[in-house]
A = this chain, B = another copy of it.
Amino acid sequence: MSSAQVSPSVAGSESVTRILDEAVELINAHGLAGFSMRALAKALGQQPGALYWHIRDKQTLLAAVAQRLLASIPHDPEESLLDVVTAFRVQLRELTDGAEIVLSSIAMGFNLDQLHARFVAAAERDGRELNEARTLATTLVHHCLGHVMHEQQCAQTRRLGLHQGAGDSASVAITADDETFQQSVRLICGT
């Protein structure tokens, strides 16, 4: 049995850990667009091909990064719905292009069920009925992903320089900042 997989549960083969650590560092430094397998190999002092003994491919690597991101959301057994959605957003923002990485990992079979379950549990603790809790959970997850994705893409726009909009760029009607996020969450949760 070759270990050429980043298996969801047993990903701790310690060479894989080193690879993931370095991948996170590079993504944080140069963004997802500036991240390549070849650059990762170079940073690890190896040949590009060497990576493929440890991991299946780039997409699987990114799915593992996404998984690690979600797994490190702090877990409070008494957390409210507001707590968990806030923690989710915080964690997405810890990693450059975190929302894009999580979303695109879905195409790798990565799913958000665990996260969804945490939202549902928190909603039920807040006194919601099960069906309502489920809708609430799904809505908040989708909203948070859309919001942070927007925010992070705007950040990249700024990093690359010019906005191609009109000269005075003060006219941005739709924004994705802290205050907007909180207003949306209050709206969804019904104050």
Contacts and interface: CB of A to CB of B under 8 A. Distances in A.
Closest 8 interchain pairs by CB? Answer: A146-B146, A142-B146, A109-B164, A116-B174, A145-B146, A139-B184, A106-B153, A143-B143
Given A103-B150, A142-B147, A157-B106, A113 B162 contact: no
Interface string A144-156: 1111011001101
A141 B145 CA distance: 12
A137 B103 CA distance: 22
Interface in A84-136: 100, 103-104, 106-109, 111-113, 115-117, 120, 134-136
Contacts of A134: 173
A191 to B, nearest CB: 11
Contacts of A135: 180, 183-184, 187
Contacts of A147: 142, 146
Contacts of A175: 138
Interface of A: 8, 100, 103-104, 106-109, 111-113, 115-117, 120, 134-139, 141-147, 149-150, 153-154, 156-157, 160, 162-165, 171-176, 180, 183-184, 187-188, 190
Nearest to A160: B107
